[in-house]
Amino acid sequence: MTETLPFWKRKTLAGMTRAEWESLCDGCGRCCLNKLREEDGPNGEPGRLHWTDVACRLLDTHSCRCSDYENRKATVPDCVKLTARKLEKIDWLPPSCAYRLVAEGKDLYWWHPLVSGDPETVHLAGASVQDKAVSERKAGALEDHIVTWPGRLPPRSARPRAPRKEPA
């Protein structure tokens, strides 16, 4: 019975193969945006997170892909390679991120390429940073680029209704 479920519904993140893990990334590019963190609170609670629309210097802001993924650490040493263990501690993944959704026991949205079969739907749904982000090579001060949209679900999260057939 469970064998018919897709892998992200029947496997834990830690139990996925490398290929399954990599395919879980929807290519939205939101995690490649710079974030600002306020100082920790008096009891050590983590400071509030602010998103910016400023993308990492290696992100192609149209395709939303890393332009040098294999060698990215040479240019961006603090790029975080996600693992199941790290996910338990990370609090900055966007609510639309497939890794976060699966970790929280939720299903993927219709626009995820694994569901739609089309890598373009993540852009069509407004889930990606496509043409909404500016490269840090050009942006200037991060404080001038604080935005809230990366921390929210995209406006077109709901599955679009099939067009209604008009009576003949």
Binding site for ligand SF4 (CB under 6 A): 25-32, 56, 58-59, 66, 72, 76, 79, 82, 93-94, 97-99
Q: How many angstroms separate the CA atoms of 133 and 85, rounded?
A: 29
φ, ψ of residue 134 in degrees (nearest 5): -120, 140
Q: Is 90 exposed, middle or buried (0-12, 13-18, 19+ CB in 10 A)?
A: middle
Nearer to ligand SF4, 12 or 35 (CB): 35
User: Cβ of residue 41: shortest distance to ligand SF4, in angstroms?
Assistant: 26
What Å distances lie between residue 70 and 23, 53, 92, CA to CA?
A: 16, 24, 23
Nearer to ligand SF4, 38 or 68 (CB): 68
Q: Residue 20 is encoded by which pair of tokens?
A: 């399954």
Nearer to ligand SF4, 43 or 78 (CB): 78
User: Cβ of residue 53: shortest distance to ligand SF4, in angstroms?
Assistant: 14
Nearer to ligand SF4, 12 or 67 (CB): 67
E strand or H helix that includes residue 121: helix 121-124
User: Cβ of residue 45: shortest distance to ligand SF4, in angstroms?
Assistant: 24
User: Cβ of residue 48: shortest distance to ligand SF4, in angstroms?
Assistant: 19
Q: Residue 117 is encoded by which pair of tokens?
A: 């079969």
Q: How many angstroms separate the CA atoms of 97 and 26, rounded?
A: 8
Q: How many angstroms separate the CA atoms of 23 and 98, rounded?
A: 10
User: Cβ of residue 23: shortest distance to ligand SF4, in angstroms?
Assistant: 10
Nearer to ligand SF4, 79 or 139 (CB): 79
